[in-house]
Structure 1
Amino acid sequence: MSDVRYMISDAAKLVDVEAHVLRYWEEELDLPIGRNEMGHRYYTEENIRLFRQIKELKDQGVQLKAVKMLLPDLEKGDSEITHLLARADKLPISADSQTAAREEKMHRFQCIMSRLISEALEDHTEKMGVEIGTQVSDQVIKEMDYLLRMKEEREDERFRRLDETIRSSQKARKERALFGGEEKKKRGFFRQKKGQTV
């Protein structure tokens, strides 16, 4: 294209919008706008043409999200898109050739809209998939954590009962040993007594 470069104020006048609108569109639509040696934006004839098409679409009520999906066609120079989005009452309906042309334009418009809707649905489906995946992952982690805690609590309870059983068994052995020792002493005492009396 041309080597002419416009500063933002001049570009805004050519597009018939405020300078902040160009900056906003640039940011929202991820448009690669050149910068000069000082870091200031400059606009080419191609940029101006693209911004004029964007403005025309915006004036017809097209949202920036839809404009963003149309950008590849706009950047290729397909000016038909902006004309296809014009209201039906603005299209002439006098001759058969005009009707056929209008039907062709409507068909192209339907194709563009189908593509836009498909892309929007794919984008939405992908986002929903990520969100659902995150929620499922969080839920699975919570469930795993709960199951591990329950397992630890059961093991702690089993070890506590085992410890109680071992302690009571040891206590019973000590008592038997103590009681058995006293019995032996008593028996020995009585044997000695029996031996003395006899």
Structure 2
Amino acid sequence: MGEVRYMISDAARLVDVEAHVLRYWEEELELPIGRNEMGHRYYTEENVRLFQRIRELKEQGVQLKAIKMLIPDLEQGETEITHLLARVDKLPAAEEGQAAAREEKMQQFQCIMSRLISEALEDHTERMGREISTQVSGHVIKEMDYLLRMKEEREDERFKRLDEAIRSSQKARKERAGLKKEEKKRWGFFGVKKGQAV
């Protein structure tokens, strides 16, 4: 009788995790999981036991990078979690030093990026302020020119009407004065109409 093969959903149920967690662990830990003729994953009893041990370590707070180094022990059937956790604590100090160095470099990189972003934002804000100021000044000047032109046109129109009114008034006065003169000529000096007997 051949070995038992589980589909991913069955294996996930046995390990008590979601199917995507198995796929993630497989990829991160570079586990050689078998595939059937159609290319679907299948899991053996050994795979299920390995994933159960991985889950137990994860529940103890062990990160996948440390678990990856313990895979040979897990595959050999090491089941004592305390022993495995002790191994995690004894990981080479060089690796811890590398992790610390990476962390420090990451912090330096973040500081540099923060400073660059801050400087870029300040520069951008300053340029935008100047550009907006220039545009606003240009618009204000154009608007003031327009308003002054409109005011001048209204004043010109007002003076034109006033000039017409004055000329019209002067013309009317001249006409009245001409009529009075004509009347005087007709009536004469003593108010008697010329040609009438007194």
* TM-score w.r.t. length of structure 2: 0.49
* TM-score w.r.t. length of structure 1: 0.49
Q: Which has the larger Rg? A: 2
Greater relative CO, 1 or 2 (CA 8 Å, sep 6+): 1
